[in-house]
């Protein structure tokens, strides 16, 4: 049988409703990602598809950053 552990307190705020400040910060971060994606030829819809297919946010940022780097 699978063991069940209590929630990790470090991540407790991730399941709470975001405050207005949290929401504003999140919206600015998403806007910046969308703008970066647009600069490198990746649409918001494509980024959503990537995330839904299992890519993490960190991996998405790395992918976009790699596309901004000049080719060697």
Per-residue pLDDT tens digits for 21-71:
888 898 999 999 999 999 999 999 999 999 999 999 999 999 999 998 776
**Does 55 reside within a domain?**
yes
Are 35 and 8 contacting, i.e. CB atoms less than 8 angstroms apart? Answer: no
Taking the model in full, what pTM does it have? 0.64
pLDDT band at 3; cut points 50, 70, 90:
low
Task: Provide the residue range defining the domain that includes 62.
Answer: 16-68
What is the C-alpha to C-alpha distance for residues 45 and 65, in angstroms, rounded to an integer?
18
**Does 8 reside within a domain?**
no
How many domains does the structure of the chain reveal?
1
**Does 2 reside within a domain?**
no
44 Cβ contact partners less than 8 Å away, ≥ 6 residues apart? 34, 37, 38
């Amino acid at each position: 049988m699978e063991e069940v552990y209590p929630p990790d307190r470090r991540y407790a705020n991730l399941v709470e409703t975001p405050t207005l400040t949290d929401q504003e910060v999140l919206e600015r971060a998403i806007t910046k990602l969308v703008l970066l994606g647009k600069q490198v030829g990746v649409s918001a819809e494509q980024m959503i598809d990537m995330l839904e297919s299992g890519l993490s946010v960190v991996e998405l940022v790395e992918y976009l950053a790699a596309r901004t780097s000049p080719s060697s």
